[in-house]
Structure 1
Amino acid sequence: MVFIKVCTLASSSSGNCTLVSQGDTHLLIDAGISLRRITASLKALGLTPGDLTGVLVTHEHSDHIGGIRMLVKYHGTQILAPHIVARGLCGCFQELGGSASCFEAGAEFVLGELAVKSFPTPHDTPESVGYRFTDGKSSLVFVTDIGCITRTVLEAALGADMAVIEANHDVVMLKNGAYPSYLKRRILSERGHLSNDDSGSLACRLAGAGTKRILLAHLSKENNTPRLAFDTVGGALGRQGAVVGGDVELETAPADTMSRVYII
């Protein structure tokens, strides 16, 4: 039997890229690291950039799109993004030639062995989306770079077997840190990034609806630590009565290296 496989290649404010596979279908969620790093990571998994079915873009911040130009230039990789994001990418990258495949945020479509549902997310860009994947047997939701948990996000995420969710910052570390005031306000806003506490709230909702594996992603290097994110979200789950390591598996994604491969 063939399963959905997930591996983060990088997950931080410095660069984000995640591989989702099912059989011969291989999709990157974002490509915010160099082509060299993407190629090396794929090689470690027995793949090449030529094996990619496409790249699904969440939004156009540089830590999510930095590798797209070279992927398209050297490998002709298909790029898929919601309309406003696609227009922005075509404006930034001449290599795309206006040919990024676009869809309405909220659209559902099939890519190879995977059915994909996009959904709008609250972030400080003209357009931003998350994705839910299913092969008919199991499901994965991917939602990072959100300032708050909206009803739309919850409706898309609840019931997924595995969830990759943001745990960007610890509020106290951020407020007491060296970031300028305008940047702190941006991160803390409802169109910024999800705190560990809010991530814990989302994790509790997901676990209560049956999610068995949660991967915490997009941790800030300056305003968070993997231990702090894990303890905060794990503590919230524990207070709800969920046993971490029993009822639900909880891990943090590495910032600059590959995660292990998760099989759903």
Structure 2
Amino acid sequence: MRFSVLASGSTGNAFYVETERERLLVDAGLSGKQLEQLFADIDRHIEDITGVLVTHEHSDHIKGLGVIARKYCLPIYANEKTWRAMESLIGDIPSEQKFIFPTGSVRTFGDLDVESFGVSHDAAEPMFYVFHYEGKKLALITDTGYVSERVKGVIRHADVFVFESNHDVEMLRMGKYPWNIKRRILSDVGHVSNEDAGLALADVIGDKTKRIYLAHLSQDNNMKELARMTVAQTLERKGIIVGESFQLYDTDPARPTELISV
């Protein structure tokens, strides 16, 4: 199983995972042209995708979805509430390309099992995914106000985590956003802070965990170095040392991570 965080941040999100038989895209929150370039950057092609999984209907996750789905005849998978919320936003999609993927279920794509789970975010029915392949586990979770014990149970002991580390609380509090936006981000249906990411990760990192990618960083209320430092220090207070058995990695809103095997 190989993967790349194609883009991650408030301006657009896309995640790619492949096996010998399957090539899946999670979210398409950038323009069609940008997505094509991101795929080219990792030496892959959108027309080879076997399915697009959608997490929720916010524009930074579906901006280019309709365009690429129509252009390349891609099958799209989302839960019923997300379908209803995004249909008017992505334009007409032929019925044969529309599939229901219920929250809290497992769907098999060829040789890859994909487990969906709900999160706490201000969308119709947001959900993220764990990918299971030959005993390996890759967990993807962003866009959640907090990480519940139920979610921790689903993602625990993954080999790789792509994990939200959206903001530094003090940067957000002192920043330029209107108070109603700050309150939304800080709420239980907003986004996870750097410190809360570290606390949640401390509960789910396992012996097999090798890589953690900090994702969906705010461009206004966070910095890569600050996110890494805060998460590392929070983990260290829990007796978990970055660099001993696993590493922390950055993601970027405009550049994909290296295509890595799990």
TM-score, normalization by structure 2: 0.95
1:34-85 deviation per Cα after TM superposition (whole angstroms, max 9, x unaligned): 1112112222333211100111110000000001111112111111011111
Asked if 1:190 corresponds to 2:188, the answer is yes
**1-side partners of 2:237 and 2:20: how far apart?**
38
CA deviation after TM superposition for structure 1 residue 252, in Å: 1.6
> % of aligned pairs identical?
36
CA contact (8 A) 1:17 1:64 kept: yes
CA deviation after TM superposition for structure 1 residue 20, in Å: 0.8
**1-side partners of 2:90 and 2:245: how far apart?**
45
Task: Specify the code of the residue in structure 2 equivalent to 1:200.
Answer: G
Q: Give the match for residue 215 of structure 1.
A: 213
Asked if 1:143 corresponds to 2:103, the answer is no
CA deviation after TM superposition for structure 1 residue 8, in Å: 1.0
Secondary structure at 2:113's aligned position in 1? strand
Secondary structure at 1:126's aligned position in 2? coil
Alignment of structure 1 residues 115-264 onto 2, 5 Å: 115-208=113-206, 210-264=208-262
Asked if 1:59 corresponds to 2:25, the answer is no
After the TM superposition, list the runs of 4 or more consecutive aligned residues in structure 1 that deviate by more than 3 angstroms: none
**2-side partners of 1:202 and 1:209: how far apart?**
16
Q: Give the match for residue 49 of structure 1.
A: 46
CA contact (8 A) 1:108 1:115 kept: yes
Task: Specify the code of the residue in structure 2 equivalent to 1:168.
Answer: N
Q: Give the match for residue 102 of structure 2.
A: 104
**2-side partners of 1:263 and 1:136: how far apart?**
12
Task: Specify the code of the residue in structure 1 equivalent to 2:24.
Answer: L
**2-side partners of 1:219 and 1:178: how far apart?**
16
RMSD: 1.4
Task: Specify the code of the residue in structure 2 equivalent to 1:249.
Answer: Q
Secondary structure at 1:183's aligned position in 2? helix
CA 1:252–1:259: 2 relative to 1, 3 Å: same
CA contact (8 A) 1:58 1:129 kept: yes
**1-side partners of 2:111 and 2:35: how far apart?**
22
Alignment of structure 1 residues 2-21 onto 2, 5 Å: 4-21=1-18
**2-side partners of 1:123 and 1:151: how far apart?**
16
CA contact (8 A) 2:158 2:206 kept: no
**1-side partners of 2:256 and 2:42: how far apart?**
10
**2-side partners of 1:262 and 1:245: how far apart?**
18
Unaligned runs of 5+ in 2: none
Unaligned runs of 5+ in 1: none
TM-score, normalization by structure 1: 0.95
**1-side partners of 2:156 and 2:195: how far apart?**
18
CA contact (8 A) 2:25 2:49 kept: yes
